[in-house]
Structure 1
Amino acid sequence: MKLPSTLLFILLSLICSPARAQTGQAGQGESARQNGTAADSSPVVPSIYLFAIKSAAIKVARGEESKMSPEERDDKTKLPVYSDNVYKVSTDQEMGEHTGVKGNYIVILFAKSDGTRIKIKDANVTSIQCEETDTKNKSSKVLTVFKPSVAYTDDDRDYIFIDVEEIVRDNPQLYSVLDITVARGGGSATHAYFGFYEKWQGYIGKGTVGFWVPFAMFASPLRRTDEGIKFTALPVSLAVGTKYITSSNFYVGGSFILGYALSSARDNAGLYVLQSATPGLLVDLGGWAYVGGIKPINLTTSDVALPFQWVIGVGPELTKLFRGNK
Structure 2
Amino acid sequence: MRLITYSRAADAAGAITTVSSDPTSDFLAGGTTEIDLLRQNVLTPRRLVDINALPLTGVEQAPDGGLRIGALARMSEVAASPLVRERFPVIAEALESGASPQLRNMASMGGNLMQRVRCPYYRDTASPCNRREPGTGCSAVEGFSRGHAVLGTSEHCIATHPSDVAVALAALDARVHTHGSRGEQTYSIDDFFLTPGHTPHREHPLEHGELITAIEVPSSPVARRSLYLKVRDRESYEFALVSAACALSLVDGTIADVRLALGGVATKPWRAHRAEGVLLGAEAGRESFTEAARVELADARPTANNAFKTGLAQRVIVRALETLTANGRTS
Larger relative strand fraction? 1
The normalised TM-score by structure 2 is 0.21
TM-score by length of 1: 0.22
Q: Which protein has greater RCO, CA pairs closer than 8 Å, 6+ apart?
A: 2
Q: Which has the larger radius of gyration?
A: 1
Instruction: Please state which structure has a larger fraction of its residues in helix.
Output: 2
